[in-house]
């Protein structure tokens, strides 16, 4: 495939514009707090800015590759499976594509790296990613089966969250916050748009299904699964690191030698991580559906962009976002800075980056479309972003106070279950999905660094036990707020209808 020069330049401009759009809110918040509160320059400002820029450019390449290759292939195959009535193969495809996409999810990688660092190696990054991917794959199969049968989403998610609550009471405390955080990041840049397209596409294709009531919810199943399976893994297999074990650090400059050979090896490793997605697409197309790929060259180019974008994201993460998160947290926690400044930073960084979150934008557009404008996309994004900001503030206060995270999350999810029973049916799947797409790929490293850094600086706190959980609160609050909004909107609409009827 040969592209004209003007097409390449146009794509480059689009990528830079998208990168700038995603970068701007976070950069504004960081600059404000650096200038007015921290009042000192970072130790390596050029390295931080360069790494940050590489992350955003890599993310833009990554998304462009998904749009060119993975999403069209996935949506087409889902439609073909549904039309042919091949539900067994449909569920197998759903499992495989979900497993593969979660294993390559950038936000999950960020949490996994940090977990390995602060756990002294007792929770390996690869183990966490594979366990989470397995859980999401199995959960998405259940979610697809729900759409096929036309069951209410509450019939599945309510028992699921009751299981989560029960496990939270007995799971190792080192993994509770991490399990909830993992549930909040598995459906991000890669997985969320794919699951949204799969669910809405199935509900549109199957007779008798409503895209608004039945099409949403796969992200909710995907977000629930890691909370269950990681806690189960912790109960049976997790062994905390012995006291005094040296912390396993993130890759250092010595480990990241930017020679051409080393970079090539890193890129090939990233390609290897993406091979499962390619294998799922090829197997489904040639073996199950028995038809050639519609655009093999486009798939090849798209997968190359995906691999290159993930590679740049991973390298920039180590050089830019993780150090930036540590720099900001260290500056805000030094003597002389009021605690309310830390809370304000948490709220603003959560709100600003969530408003620009690509997965949330995709979900809100689809919700606006299938609700025929009754659920405005901008309103939905604003509510979710406010919920994320409030959730991060509550999570920070919890770390400072030292309360067991289970004492917050168990009542919180019991309240979610209660609202599921009384909220309007149309809002419940969307609310659950919103809880799964709140934290962006940019937000996760900064928020994770904030939680771990705050736990390290607060006397009597354990970074592994207390440092994780901010993402959990950032996922919980939007679900509560969106369902409450649905209830208030329905009440307001009925009240206006009654007033109009009286005035006739």
pLDDT in tens, 445-499: 778 888 988 898 888 898 888 999 999 999 999 999 999 988 888 888 788 888 8
Mean per-residue pLDDT, 144-160: 89
Return the pLDDT at 9.
66
As a whole-number percent, the residues of the chain with pLDDT over 90 amount to 22
Mean per-residue pLDDT, 369-380: 72
* Highest-scoring range by mean pLDDT, 68-72, 155-159, 305-309: 155-159
Return the pLDDT at 380.
86
Nearest to 376 by CA among 498, 216, 486: 486
pLDDT exceeds 60 at position 263: yes
Return the pLDDT at 256.
44
Return the pLDDT at 250.
45
* Lowest-pLDDT range of 101-110, 147-156, 185-194: 185-194
Two structure tokens written together for 371: 């609700």
| Rounded Cα distance, 84 and 443, in Å | 41
Determine how many CB atoms are found less than 10 A away from the CB of residue 35. 10
pLDDT exceeds 80 at position 422: yes
Under 8 Å between Cβ of 238 and 122: yes
| Rounded Cα distance, 396 and 473, in Å | 10
pLDDT exceeds 80 at position 45: no
pLDDT exceeds 60 at position 21: yes
Read off the pLDDT band of 162 (50, 70, 90): very high
Nearest to 101 by CA among 185, 203, 206: 185
Which DSSP state fits 195? H
- Alpha carbon of 188 to those of 103, 182, 368, 438: distances in Å? 12, 11, 19, 8
Q: Give per-residue pLDDT as tens, 222-244.
A: 889 999 999 999 999 888 876 55
Nearest to 484 by CA among 437, 444, 428, 433: 428
Angle formed by the axes of helices 218-236 and 173-185, to 10°? 160
Instruction: Return the HEC string of 277-317.
Output: HHHHHHHHHHHHCCCCCCCHHHHHHHHHHHHHHHHHHHHHH
| Rounded Cα distance, 488 and 424, in Å | 10
Determine how many CB atoms are found less than 10 A away from the CB of residue 292. 9
Q: Which residue has the tokens 């709140």?
A: 438
Under 8 Å between Cβ of 449 and 114: yes
Determine how many CB atoms are found less than 10 A away from the CB of residue 462. 12
Q: Give per-residue pLDDT as tens, 334-350.
A: 777 888 999 999 999 88
Q: Which residue has the tokens 């691999």?
A: 307
pLDDT exceeds 50 at position 1: no
DSSP alpha helices (H): ranges in 356-405? Answer: 358-370, 377-401
Under 8 Å between Cβ of 345 and 29: yes
Q: Give per-residue pLDDT as tens, 28-38.
A: 888 888 888 88
Which H or E run includes 20? helix 5-33
- Alpha carbon of 426 to those of 89, 210, 310: distances in Å? 29, 10, 35
Mean per-residue pLDDT, 250-257: 44
Which H or E run includes 144? helix 125-149
- The structure's pTM equals 0.78
Return the pLDDT at 393.
95
Two structure tokens written together for 387: 């919920």
Nearest to 381 by CA among 25, 16, 98: 25
Under 8 Å between Cβ of 222 and 195: yes
Mean per-residue pLDDT, 190-219: 79
Average pLDDT, the chain: 80
- Alpha carbon of 398 to those of 64, 161, 408, 501: distances in Å? 39, 22, 8, 49
Q: Greater confidence, 49 or 209?
A: 209
Under 8 Å between Cβ of 153 and 146: yes
Return the pLDDT at 74.
64
Mean per-residue pLDDT, 272-295: 76
Read off the pLDDT band of 426 (50, 70, 90): confident
| Rounded Cα distance, 116 and 123, in Å | 5
Angle formed by the axes of helices 296-316 and 106-118, to 10°? 30
Q: Give per-residue pLDDT as tens, 429-441.
A: 888 888 877 776 6
Which DSSP state fits 375? S
Determine how many CB atoms are found less than 10 A away from the CB of residue 328. 25
Return the pLDDT at 491.
87
Q: How much is the CA Rg of the chain, to the nearest whole Å?
A: 22
Return the pLDDT at 11.
65
Return the pLDDT at 497.
82
């Amino acid at each position: 495939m040969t592209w004209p020069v003007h097409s390449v330049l146009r794509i480059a401009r689009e990528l830079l514009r998208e990168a700038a759009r995603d970068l701007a809110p976070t950069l504004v918040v960081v600059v404000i707090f650096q200038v007015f509160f921290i009042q000192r320059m970072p130790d390596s400002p050029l390295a931080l800015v360069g790494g940050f820029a590489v992350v955003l450019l890599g993310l833009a390449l990554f998304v462009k590759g998904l749009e060119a290759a993975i999403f069209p292939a996935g949506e087409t195959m889902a439609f073909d499976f549904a039309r042919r009535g091949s539900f067994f193969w449909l569920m197998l495809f759903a499992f495989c594509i979900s497993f593969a996409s979660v294993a390559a999810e950038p936000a999950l990688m960020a949490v996994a790296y940090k977990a390995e660092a602060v756990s002294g190696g007792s929770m390996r990054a690869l183990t966490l990613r594979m366990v989470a991917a397995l859980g999401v794959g199995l959960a998405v199969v259940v979610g697809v089966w729900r759409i096929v049968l036309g069951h209410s989403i509450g019939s599945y998610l309510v028992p699921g969250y009751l299981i989560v609550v029960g496990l939270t009471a007995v799971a190792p405390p080192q993994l509770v916050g991490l399990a909830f955080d993992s549930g909040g990041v598995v459906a991000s840049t890669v997985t969320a748009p794919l699951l949204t397209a799969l669910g809405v596409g199935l509900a549109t294709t199957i007779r008798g299904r409503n895209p608004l009531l039945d099409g949403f919810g796969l992200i909710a199943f995907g977000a629930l699964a890691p909370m269950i399976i990681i806690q189960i893994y912790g109960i049976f297999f997790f062994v905390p690191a012995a006291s005094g074990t040296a912390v396993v650090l993130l890759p250092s400059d010595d480990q990241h030698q930017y020679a051409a050979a080393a970079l090539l090896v890193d890129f090939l490793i990233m390609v290897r991580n993406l091979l499962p997605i390619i294998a799922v697409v090829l197997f489904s197309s040639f073996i199950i559906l028995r038809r050639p790929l519609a655009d093999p060259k486009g798939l090849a180019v798209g997968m190359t962009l995906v691999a290159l974008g993930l590679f740049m994201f991973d390298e920039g993460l180590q050089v830019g976002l993780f150090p930036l998160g540590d720099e900001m947290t260290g500056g805000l926690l030094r003597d002389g800075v009021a605690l309310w400044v830390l809370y304000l930073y948490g709220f603003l960084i959560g709100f600003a980056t969530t408003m620009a979150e690509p997965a949330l934008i995709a979900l809100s557009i689809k919700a606006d479309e299938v609700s025929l404008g009754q659920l405005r996309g901008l309103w939905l994004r604003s509510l979710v972003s406010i919920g994320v900001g409030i959730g991060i503030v509550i999570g920070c206060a919890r770390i400072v106070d030292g309360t067991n995270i289970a004492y917050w999350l168990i009542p919180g999810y019991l309240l979610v279950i209660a609202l599921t029973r009384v909220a309007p049916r149309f809002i419940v799947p969307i609310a659950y999905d919103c809880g799964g797409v709140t934290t962006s790929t940019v937000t996760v490293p900064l928020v994770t660094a904030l939680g771990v850094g705050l736990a390290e600086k607060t006397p009597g706190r354990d970074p592994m036990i207390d440092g994780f959980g901010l993402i959990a609160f950032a996922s919980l609050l939007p679900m509560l707020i969106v369902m409450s909004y649905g209830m208030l909107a329905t009440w307001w609409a009925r009240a206006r209808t009654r007033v109009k009827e009286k005035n006739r």
